[in-house]
A and B are shown apart, each in its own frame.
Chain A
Amino acid sequence: MTTEIFRSTLSTLGLSRRRLLQTAGGAAAIAALGVRSAEAVLKIDITQGTIQPLPIAIPDFVAGQAAEAELGRNLSAVITNNLRRSGLFAPIDPAAFIEKIQNIDVAPRFQDWRVVNAQGLVTGRVTRQPDGRFRTEFRLWDVFAGQQLTGQQYFTQPEHWRRIAHIISDQIYERITGEKGYFDTRIVFVDETGPKDKRVKRLAIMDQDGAGVRYLTRGDDLVLTPRFSPTNQEVCYMSYGRGDPRVLLLNIETGQREVVGDFPGMTFSPRFSPDGFRVIMSLQQGSNTNIFTMDLRSRRTTRLTDAAAIDTAPSFSPDGRQICFESDRGGAQQIYVMNADGSNPRRVSFGQGRYSTPIWSPRGDTIAFTKQGSGSFSIGVMRADGSGERILTEGFHNEGPTWAPNGRVLMFFRDPGGNAGPHLFTVDVTGYNELKVPTPSYASDPAWSPLLS
């Protein structure tokens, strides 16, 4: 009877059994499809975040023996200082720590570190080796993920402990931010002492955090604008010795000095090419100043500009293909860019004011400069085609920007005027985190070395 009912219903509906089965089969197929494609996972877009320094905990490095305890503390102190000064990290006060790290080879109690809001944790150990060297190890932990991010060990002589601290800081910086660090670098600058009318200027070199100052010249001659070689431990600078100013090349390690070239007239603002084989500088000939390069191996000079104007402060791009320089051929000082062979000079700065001391960023995308206008001096950056000009700091009297090797931080000097002297300052390329660099006395004309490691 059931089948009778079934068949009669179907006939009333006008469906045949085959039709019904087909529909059922089709429906099942669609049903299977429908379930897979109708997966309604909630989707959210996050397009804004907050920029804030990463809270990181850096407890004292564990010492293998009691004698190394102070070294462990010093290492942590240098790393903490480096990371704090970068503006991207916020080291947590050690008084807030809960867990005391004794053994760095076991995982820390992450819950204790989460409680103090640390997102990163650096643990380290320093042990003296039988041959007198030190072995320094460190581990960087991601507290909320509960994992180690990176870990390294280094062997050095005891007197180089600062460099190890800087190298470890670079590792931490690079692992967290993705950019290369800039802590294992040095700054060469002009140290100024004495009253304003009788300033003694000496070339000096120090670590980027202000430690380990060493004087390279005695102060008999007036020295200006020192610049680092990208490849060797050499510095080229201007010296007002007897007669006209000359460009000199100084080897930092040996202290040997040589004159770059003997040119009639004055030479200014020397810089190295990215490959380290050429020095580019400006030469005065009569009322005209032009840009020349000199090959350090062959001592052959090539003239690059020939406008009837003052062209000075040249700077190579990191790929060595272009040169930016300062010229007043258009009336006032402006920034120009030309090819490395001197062809196609074009003006790139068009704002209100006078632009000077251009320096190309190691990243290759921006040029930093000094801008003078309406009574104030500003340090700014612009893209290589002149667009996107941004002022990072303004005041009286800022000058002479130099880039850190990762293109993120700029150092410049500021002279407040009056009887006081200039000091060095660093600022992040976003304009934030302006900090004073500690120097023994007044300082000017800084130049940042490339990474030492």
Chain B
Amino acid sequence: MRTGLAVSSIGHAVVLGWGLIAFAPAVFETPPTEAMPVDLVPISEFTQLQKGNKNAPKQEQAKQAAEKIAEAKQAPEKEHKPKEPEVKTAAAPPSPPPPPPEPTPPPQAKKEESKPEPKPAEVATPLPPKKLPPKPKTPDVAKQDTPQQKQRDFNPDKIAALLDRRQPNTQRAAEQPSQTAALGASMGNAPRLSQSEIDALRAQIQACWNPPVGAENAQDLIVHVRVKFRIDGTLSAEPEVLNRGSSPYFRVAVESAMRAVRRCQPYTLPAHKYEIWRDVEVAFDPKDMFGR
């Protein structure tokens, strides 16, 4: 038994001693972490993430289509010189207040058209005036191939006559959604008002709105008003009420909504986005105010 005891105690001492030496506390070292670059982005840029940069190099595909159009266009321009000034002057007015009869899908794409305008004008300028007829989007794919193929096979002079008819098509080719820039894409976010601008308009109207306080049922007080603005922020026409209500408080609610809209003219909104806020439908709903 004594040997066993001796062996056990020696064994324990060896193990503990080894442990003491082996697991000596070391200085806790922090590995150096990678610094994360932080960029402060104003909310308008966030909303317009797909807007693309004016100065970015153009993608090959878009450029290709545009270039080919330009090439082809030079032929008719040479031939029909008197038309040129017409083309150029027609291009100028669209950038500030665009002509009213234009349907709204074109303005989205048009916004993108007007942005590259200050740039190489020989590509962009002939495009805006041809916007007026509504453009079908689906046959684009089919029709796009045709002019390109023809341009490869035939020389520009021969297809000049054909291209004249297709001018609306060729612009649509330039609007094809590219992978990086949302130039002319129907789902692009760029042409909208940023969230902060919408909130600014909402705050301006809210500050002037005194909803009727008497009604017991908030549902009775919902009013939809269509408001049309001029570029300076004043109303261009009488606001129009879009819904009907049966409650006796509805008339009072309509009047308070109209008063709110009329009182706070002129509204401050970004002039370069006039197309978007020219026609606004405001829904007045005091549901958040009924704490009673």
Q: Do the beta carbons of B283 and A43 come within 8 Å of each other? A: yes
Q: Smallest CB-CB separation from B150: which chain A residue?
A: A9
Are the CB atoms of A54 and B283 closer together than 8 Å?
Answer: no
Q: Nearest Cβ in chain A — how far from B44, in angstroms?
A: 16
Number of residue pairs A-B, CB distance < 8 angstroms: 142
Does A177 contact B252, Cβ atoms closer than 8 Å? yes
Q: Is the CB of A49 within 8 A of B292?
A: no
Per the 8 Å Cβ criterion, residues 1-39 of A in contact with B are 2, 5, 9, 12-13, 15, 23-24, 26-28, 30-32, 34-35, 38-39
Question: Min CB distance, A409 to chain B, in Å?
Answer: 12
Quote the shortest CB–CB distance from B76 to chain A (angstroms). Answer: 16
Size class of the B contact interface (CB-based, 8 Å): 35 or more
B214 at the interface (CB under 8 A from A): yes
Indicate whether A41 sits within 8 Å of B279 (C-beta atoms), given known contacts A46-B205, A178-B215. Answer: yes
Comparing B45-53, B79-87, B135-143, the segment that makes contact with chain A is B135-143
A9, B149: Cβ atoms closer than 8 Å: yes
Whether the Cβ atoms of A176 and B252 lie closer than 8 Å is yes
Cross-interface CB contact of A48 among B206, B259, B292, cutoff 8 Å: B206
DSSP class of B's interface residues: helix, strand, loop or mixed? Answer: helix
Q: Are A23 and B212 in contact (CB under 8 A)?
A: no
Q: Is B207 an interface residue (CB 8 A)?
A: yes
**Cβ-defined contact, A31 with B206, below 8 A:** no
> Is B88's beta carbon under 8 Å from chain A?
no
Contact A50 B137 (CB under 8 A): no
* Residues in A whose Cβ lies below 8 Å from that of B161: 2
Q: Which residues of A contact B262 (CB under 8 A)?
A: 144-145
Interface range on chain A (Cβ under 8 Å from partner): 35 or more
Tell me how far the C-beta of A182 lies from the nearest C-beta in chain B, rounded to whole angstroms. 12
Does the CB pair A430–B292 fall under 8 Å? yes
Kindly state whether residue A451 has any CB partner on chain B within 8 Å: no
Closest chain A CB from B40 CB (angstroms): 28
Cβ contact within 8 Å between A50 and B280: no
B263 at the interface (CB under 8 A from A): yes
B33 to chain A, nearest CB (A): 44
Cβ contact within 8 Å between A51 and B285: no
Known: A35-B134, A145-B255. 4 other contacts (CB 8 A): A9-B150, A41-B279, A43-B281, A44-B283
9 closest A-B pairs by CB: A31-B136, A178-B252, A49-B209, A179-B214, A27-B139, A27-B136, A144-B262, A178-B249, A47-B288
A-B pairs with beta carbons under 8 Å apart, 22 shown: A9-B150, A26-B138, A27-B138, A35-B105, A38-B186, A41-B280, A46-B206, A47-B288, A48-B289, A49-B206, A49-B260, A50-B207, A142-B259, A144-B259, A144-B263, A145-B259, A149-B255, A177-B252, A178-B252, A178-B253, A179-B214, A430-B292
